[in-house]
Amino acid sequence: MTLVLVRRLVVSSALALAAVVSRAAEADEALAKAAVVVYNEAARESKTLAEYYARRRGIDPSHIVGLTCSPEEEIDRDAYDQQLAEPLRQAFEQNHWWEVKTGADGQKQVTANSIRFVALIRGIPLKIRFKALYPGDHPDPDTPFGMKNEAAVDSELAGLGAFSRQISGFLRNPYFRSFKPITDPDTDPRLMLVARLDGPTPADVTRMIDDAIAAEKNGLWGWTVVDERATQDPAYKSGDDWLERIVEEAGRLGRPVLVDRRPGLIPSGYPLNNVILYFGWYSEQAAGALADPGFRFRPGAIAVHIHSFSGASVRTADRFWVGPLLRHGAAATTGNVYEPFLGLTPMLDIMFDRLINGMTFAESIYASLVGISWMTTVDGDPLYRPFGENLAASTAGNPWRLYQELVLQSKGQPERLAGLLLQQGPKEPLCYEFAGLVLERAGQDDNALQALLKARRSGRSRDDRFRAFLEVLAILRKQGRTEEATRLIRREGGEFKDEPSRDLLETYGG
């Protein structure tokens, strides 16, 4: 009887696994059919990268389009029209990817579109500079953005099917706040989700492709890191509000969060490891812990730092944010090529919500954007679904998956969750840190201190032990117990003797 039961369980598990694999394969195939890949015939290695991406994603070679255009990151409006927009419209019509009707006024309109994703490959220009006079354009001096017509190539091409000569200001994004897949028949056929596979070197691009596909297969597990700005300025507070909602949503869904609510960036030397998602602001240049030479994201990570010019270039490894984040191992990011105004950047809480609930990277970004034909560049595999169905369901050796399971068991009760985590601590020391963070957010600082001290003394890696120690010191400092923090540093800080670590101990405990 027991043997029969075991066999039934094995068969049932195998069938469930097969069903997951089948659904994932069907989804991948549907996405591939709805995608085209665009490369620059005038740029070395662009075609090779396009073919590599199409092969890895199962995109038919007939969906690869080669254009001859400037290889520079910035181009003028005429070059955009002649080298990118018009040749692409011709390719779409010749390949019958969309249906176009011409009205009595001569205005064309896309009425059906089988292509919903466009992947631009390294070599395609990044941004379009301002043009003073443009036939058909009507600048609006009464709005702060109505006189601006510079744009990201990605965002401009997203509205290719609108056939609009209005280049000043932005186009309202019909996909904003959408929960539907872009392939849903009811979505506006004029819109396409355009992203690029671009970065400091061609090797960065191939790694981005490989990491995204591997993360889909194996699951993406680790820390979500949120770096708030701690501002009360009404003009900017919405940015922190987005980030705080990410913290709340991640906690509800069982995704452990490290949050820094202090002004400034997470400082250099801070022990970050196993980072899968990063959301922060507001520095023009990449700096702090995420720019440390030894820092690496988990393969498949998505990282976003808001700044007006975070994506002014994507091919430099040491300027702005997009390139450095990619160079430090992120698989996908987004940024602004020119000044966008905060309300027209991706609303990161919406992006996070769509992403964590299984939508593609491109869908998640575009659902968070009020407008297109604007300043946002989207850099990463548009088809990437890091939180779609995957096979990494076991908690064995996976504290992140274990945490998620315990969140579900605790039914939103922080004390119960902390108790369950503390029970797991002897087997998985990271659970002590999880418990400490849960208790601190529940306002139980003294219990949080006890859990974090256990994490500091039992963590498997130096980074885990050091981070827990800094979290202990931060709580003591918050409570005004600086003398106790000083004594603790003297007693237990001997492991962290290097100068950056000593500086952090003083910052967090002083």
The residue ranges of every structural domain in the chain are 28-195, 202-331+343-356, 399-509
Strands 127-128, 74-75: pairing kind: parallel
Extract long-range pairs of 161-166: CB within 8 Å, 24+ residues apart: 161/98, 161/110, 161/113, 161/189, 161/190, 161/191, 161/192, 162/110, 162/190, 163/89, 163/107, 163/108, 163/109, 163/110, 164/373, 165/134, 165/135, 165/136, 165/137, 166/136, 166/137, 166/138
Give residue 446's identity as a one-letter amino acid code. Answer: D
Q: Residue 74 is encoded by which pair of tokens?
A: 């910035």
Give residue 32's identity as a one-letter amino acid code. Answer: A
Q: Where are the beta strands (DSSP E) in 12-106?
A: 35-40, 64-67, 74-75, 98-102
Amino acid 28: pLDDT? 86
Amino acid 510: pLDDT? 74
Summarised one tens digit per residue, pLDDT across range 41-66 is 999 999 999 999 999 999 999 999 99
Amino acid 103: pLDDT? 86
Amino acid 419: pLDDT? 97
CATH number of 399-509: 1.25.40
CA atoms lying within 13 Å on the CB side of residue 343: 6
∠ Cα 307 311 313 (to 5°)? 140
Q: Which helix (H) or strand (E) holds 405?
A: helix 399-410
CA distance 345 to 310: 11
* Per-residue model confidence as pLDDT tens for the chain (510 residues): 343 433 443 444 444 434 444 456 677 899 999 999 999 999 999 999 999 999 999 999 999 999 999 999 999 999 999 999 999 999 999 999 999 999 888 889 899 999 999 999 999 999 999 999 999 999 999 998 999 999 999 999 999 999 999 999 999 999 999 999 999 999 999 999 999 999 999 999 999 999 999 999 999 999 999 999 988 888 899 999 999 999 999 999 999 999 999 999 999 999 999 999 999 999 999 999 999 999 999 999 999 999 999 999 999 999 999 999 999 999 999 999 999 999 999 999 999 999 999 999 999 999 999 999 999 999 999 999 999 975 455 777 899 999 999 999 998 899 999 999 999 999 999 999 999 999 999 999 999 999 999 999 999 999 999 999 999 999 999 999 999 999 999 999 999 989 999 999 999 987
CA distance 499 to 505: 10
164: exposed, middle or buried (Cβ count in 10 Å: 0-12, 13-18, 19+): middle
What is residue 227's three-state secondary structure?
Answer: strand
Amino acid 393: pLDDT? 55
Residue with tokens 């979500």: 224
Amino acid 14: pLDDT? 42
